[in-house]
């Protein structure tokens, strides 16, 4: 009786194997392009295999670029693997697979075939993608967010799903699930010169008793159907945005000087869509703030370990919470935020 032959199992990927693959991709792309940043007060180095990857994924960090060449606390290696990417965006928001293994953390997004890997010691990571020019918009506006989040956790910071705006004296964290008005609130702050922008979707928060917001990205996103509400921002849209995705622009080039790298956190704001004409700030509750902040932070960012929920609960106990009722007149949003900040101690 014959028996069908079976192929031996493929060897498990190793960190050395990822590094070898990056080096091969860099040689094929004509070398590496280095980007040096200061993120939450620490040096980060991103090594791109070729200029195309650097151009596609580096713009969101333009406000954090530094000329310093001090030893990096984190080094990321980024490359295309020349595989065929997903043809449509219909399943881009599907499941992802998180691995917490001896020696590394990893996240695979099957729909886009993006793989993120961070070594256990937390100072080296790898980001492999099929094609740097054919990713969904959120990979351009918030690159390497899982890698940065895992690394930040070891630095005593927590990456959160939220926007943040304010001044050097202090600002607010704007939290809520997709579609709640979080990005609209953050982007609307750009209509008032008194406010500066730290992010509309992902920021980091460090410190226990005196929390500080750290900016990660200078990108901003607006739904195309909402662009009429922000007419002053239309000329600043980044080139190449796709009609079926959100409109994207990068503040470092579109609105120089309006980004801020960090500020003391004074309050948490939960936006609420209403049929009002003008925006209005009302007192909020800790439970509502935690419900708006924790689920999307944990499910989207896959923080390692079991302390994420406790950390977020501690955050909402540390600063006051408010509800921001959004109105049709978006220019009243930043005015209400400025008024709130002026009233806080």
Q: Which residues pair with 245 in a beta bridge?
A: none
Instruction: Find the angle CA(138)-CA(77)-CA(241) to the nearest 5 degrees.
Output: 25
CA proximity to 219, closest of 183, 176, 167, 185? 183
Cα–Cα dist 335/194, whole Å? 9
Cα–Cα dist 92/137, whole Å? 10
**What pLDDT does residue 88 have?**
38
Assigned CATH for 157-343? 3.40.50
**What pLDDT does residue 13 have?**
65
For 284-293, b/e burial (b = at least 16 CB within 10 A) is bebebbbebb
Cα–Cα dist 196/175, whole Å? 17
Cα–Cα dist 265/111, whole Å? 36
Cα–Cα dist 64/62, whole Å? 5
Cα–Cα dist 276/181, whole Å? 14
**Cβ atoms of 201 and 141 closer than 8 Å:** yes
**What pLDDT does residue 5 have?**
41
Identify how many contiguous H helices and E strands the chain contains and give both numbers: 9, 17
* DSSP per-residue letters across 101-158: ETTEEEEEETTTTEEEEEETTSSEEEEEES-TTS--HHHHHSTTHHHHHHHHHHTTEE
Cα–Cα dist 181/185, whole Å? 6
CA proximity to 345, closest of 229, 277, 264? 264
Sign of the dihedral defined by the CA atoms of residues 54, 58, 63, 67, in that order: negative
Cα–Cα dist 174/169, whole Å? 17
Both structure tokens of 100: 């917490």
**What pLDDT does residue 239 have?**
58
Q: For the purposes of burial, counting CB atoms within 10 Å of the CB of 232, is it exposed (0-12), middle (13-18) or buried (19 or more)?
A: exposed
CA proximity to 116, closest of 15, 220, 218? 15
**What pLDDT does residue 286 have?**
98
Average pLDDT per consecutive 10 residues, the chain (345 residues; last block may be shorter): 39 80 95 97 97 95 92 97 50 65 89 92 94 90 96 94 97 92 92 96 93 97 76 66 74 92 98 95 98 94 83 97 94 97 94
Cα–Cα dist 182/205, whole Å? 17
Which residue has 């020019």 as its token pair? 133
**What pLDDT does residue 179 have?**
82
**What pLDDT does residue 254 have?**
86
Cα–Cα dist 86/315, whole Å? 38
Cα–Cα dist 79/46, whole Å? 11
Q: Where in the chain are the domains?
A: 15-154, 157-343
257 three-class SS: coil
313 three-class SS: helix
**What pLDDT does residue 240 have?**
54
Cα–Cα dist 122/99, whole Å? 15
Both structure tokens of 224: 């195309």
């Amino acid at each position: 009786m014959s028996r069908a032959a079976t192929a031996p199992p493929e060897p498990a990927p190793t960190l050395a194997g990822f590094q070898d693959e990056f080096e091969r991709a860099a040689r094929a792309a004509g070398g590496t392009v280095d980007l040096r940043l200061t993120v939450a007060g620490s040096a980060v180095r991103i090594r791109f295999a070729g200029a195309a990857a650097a151009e596609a994924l580096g713009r969101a960090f333009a406000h954090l670029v530094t000329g310093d060449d001090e030893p990096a606390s984190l080094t990321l290696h980024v490359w295309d693997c020349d595989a065929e990417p997903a043809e449509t965006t219909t399943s881009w928001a599907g499941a992802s697979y998180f691995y917490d293994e001896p020696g590394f953390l990893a996240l695979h997004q099957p729909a886009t075939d993006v793989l993120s890997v961070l070594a256990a010691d937390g100072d080296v990571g790898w980001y492999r993608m099929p094609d740097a020019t054919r990713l969904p918009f959120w990979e351009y506006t918030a690159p390497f967010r899982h890698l940065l989040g895992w690394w930040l956790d070891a630095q005593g910071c927590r990456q959160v799903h939220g926007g943040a705006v304010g001044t050097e004296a202090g600002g607010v964290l704007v939290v809520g699930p997709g579609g709640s008005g979080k990005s609209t609130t953050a982007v609307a702050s750009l209509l008032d010169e008194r406010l500066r922008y730290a992010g509309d979707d992902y920021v980091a928060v460090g410190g226990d008793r005196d929390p500080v917001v750290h900016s990660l990205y200078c990108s901003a996103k607006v739904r195309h159907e909402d662009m009429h509400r922000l007419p002053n921002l239309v000329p600043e849209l980044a080139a190449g945005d796709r009609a079926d995705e959100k409109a994207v622009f990068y503040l470092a080039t579109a609105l120089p000087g309006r980004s801020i790298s960090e500020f003391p956190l004074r309050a948490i704001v939960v936006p609420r869509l209403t049929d009002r004409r003008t925006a209005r700030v009302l007192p909020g509750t800790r439970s509502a703030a935690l419900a708006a902040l924790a689920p999307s932070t944990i499910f989207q960012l896959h923080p390692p370990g079991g302390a994420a929920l406790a950390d977020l609960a501690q955050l909402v106990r540390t600063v006051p919470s408010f509800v921001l009722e959004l109105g049709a007149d978006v220019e009243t949003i930043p005015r209400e935020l400025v008024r709130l900040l002026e009233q806080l101690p």
